[in-house]
Amino acid sequence: MKARRSFEEFINESSNYERLLGLARDPKTDPDLLDELSTSLTTSIRIAVAGNPNTRPETIRMLYRAEPRANYAEIAANPGTPIDMLLAFAEQGMESGDYWLINSLARNPAMPEEILDEFLSLDSFVLRQFVASNPGTSVGTLMELAIDEDPRIRQAAASNPKLADLKDYLDR
């Protein structure tokens, strides 16, 4: 009789690792499977689960508590992250000047408009570009960014779906 392999033994085979990492990254993966993958001993799989928008909020919280520094950027960019965590990350990032964290938050479409506006007070081209590209950014802010002195910021704002919708409406 063949001995049953553990989940970790299964993961450690390279072909299985790639497959499971792909599942952990896939936004269509079932939340129950993501819960299972979140307990992996393999850091890259847990990080991928932390960034997956289909991961349950309680799993995101568990992953953050277990390894705050390993998972925080993926959690900050995940639109499924609970709003209280996003606000706490924003406060932490603004106080510490942690641009890695702030840039991740600025890419998150679930980030509140007023926080995205606050990020613009920081002098960072990359951050401005993320805010301009974020579909959660207010139309007013996008209109300001659409006339920014930097053409890359203007292009990011012009490519934002909110401004495209406004342009379509105005063109009628």
pTM, two decimals, is: 0.82
To the nearest whole percent, how much of the chain has pLDDT over 70?
Answer: 87
Distances (CA, A) of 122 to 39, 82, 93: 37, 24, 11
| Residues 118-168 pLDDT 10s | 999 998 999 999 999 999 999 999 999 999 999 999 999 999 998 876 665
Same domain, 124 and 160: yes
| Residues 76-98 pLDDT 10s | 999 999 999 999 999 999 999 99
Same domain, 28 and 94: no
Same domain, 45 and 100: no
Phi, psi of 29 (to 5 degrees): -65, 135
Answer with the one of 81, 103, 130 that is the final residue of a domain.
Answer: 81
Same domain, 74 and 28: yes
145's CB contacts (< 8 A; 6+ apart) are 128, 131, 132, 137, 153, 154, 156, 157
**Residue 100 is part of which domain span?**
83-172
| Residues 29-51 pLDDT 10s | 999 999 999 999 899 999 999 99
Q: What's the structural domain count of the chain?
A: 2
Same domain, 148 and 105: yes
Per-residue DSSP letter, 5: P
Same domain, 91 and 15: no
Same domain, 11 and 42: yes
Same domain, 40 and 22: yes
Same domain, 122 and 51: no
Same domain, 42 and 57: yes
Q: Angle of helix 14-25 relative to helix 43-51, nearest 10 degrees?
A: 20
